[in-house]
Amino acid sequence: MSDLVLHGYWRSSASYRVRIALNLKKLSYRQITHDLRTGEQTDPTYRAIAPAGLVPALEWGDHAFVQSLAILEWLEEYWPDPALLPRAYEPRAIVRGMASILVADIHPLNNLRVMNYLKSNLELSTEAAHAWMSHWMSEGLAALEAMIARYGGDYAFGDQLTMADCCLVPQVYNAERFGVDISRFRHLGAATARARAHPAVAAAHPDLQPDADPA
């Protein structure tokens, strides 16, 4: 079997999602970092792997997979145990919906390139840009709070870690960085805390990655 190579960046929440899934499935992988702050992800060599110039990308043999949710789905199909999606169709759709709120509704509005555009092109102050991003994070997290209140158990959906948790933990990390009050979301906060305590999730934390900034 070919080695798995994860192209990412320590503080990228999308890379964080994939690290969690790889760890939960107990897969070994090598990391290659692309510092988003200096634009390393736009280098032509990396764009040959990931044409959009975004992280993460996961290389496996002759293949390069992009987009974190697609990577999570591939990992689930190729290494189905432990499962990150429920077996029944309806619960699987609910978990995918939770993950999509995080990946499609929230994250695109609070990543680095959006923040840079708000500040550089629209000339918003740092404070105004952060307030704009925090607003949309709060809106999405409120929707997820309602779903976790209905479907959650120990974790975001039921009592097993799922793809929803792989996406939730990094988004809460982002929200906390921008000063979003997570205590408003009781069920979401409790599910996140329990997920963070799992050794595989804890090991994926940005601060523990080889390319993390010195403390």
Is 9 in the same domain as 66?
A: yes
Q: How many CB atoms lie within 10 A of CB 8?
A: 25
Is 36 in the same domain as 134?
A: no
Domain boundary among 21, 56, 82: 82
Give per-residue pLDDT as tens, 90-119. 999 999 999 999 999 898 777 777 878 888
Domain boundary among 17, 52, 82: 82
Is 132 in the same domain as 74?
A: no
Using the CB atoms, write b or e for 20-45: b if 16+ within 10 Å: bbbbbbeeeeebbbbebeeeebeeee
Q: Answer yes or no: is pLDDT of 82 > 60.
A: yes
50 within domain boundaries: yes
Domain boundary among 62, 82, 102: 82
Phi/psi-derived region of residue 56, left when phi > 0, alpha when psi is between -120 and 50, beta in every other case: beta
147 within domain boundaries: yes
Q: What is the mean pLDDT of residues 51-68?
A: 97
CATH of the domain at 102: 1.20.1050.10
Parent domain of 112: 89-200
Is 94 in the same domain as 152?
A: yes
CATH of the domain at 21: 3.40.30.10
Task: Judge contact between 72 and 18, C-beta under 8 A.
Answer: yes
Give per-residue pLDDT as tens, 109-145. 777 778 788 888 888 888 887 787 888 889 999 999 9
Domain count, the chain: 2
Q: Answer yes or no: is pLDDT of 64 > 90.
A: yes
Q: Answer yes or no: is pLDDT of 1 > 80.
A: no
Nearest CA among 103, 68, 98, 69 for reference residue 86: 98
Is 70 in the same domain as 154?
A: no
Give per-residue pLDDT as tens, 191-212. 999 999 999 999 999 999 999 9
Is 110 in the same domain as 14?
A: no
Is 73 in the same domain as 99?
A: no
Is 48 in the same domain as 147?
A: no
**What is the reported pLDDT for 123?**
83
208 within domain boundaries: no
Give per-residue pLDDT as tens, 167-190. 999 999 999 998 999 999 999 999
Q: What is the share, in percent, of the chain residues with pLDDT greater than 70?
A: 99
171 within domain boundaries: yes
CA–CA dist 115, 125 (Å, integer) = 10
**What is the reported pLDDT for 2?**
62
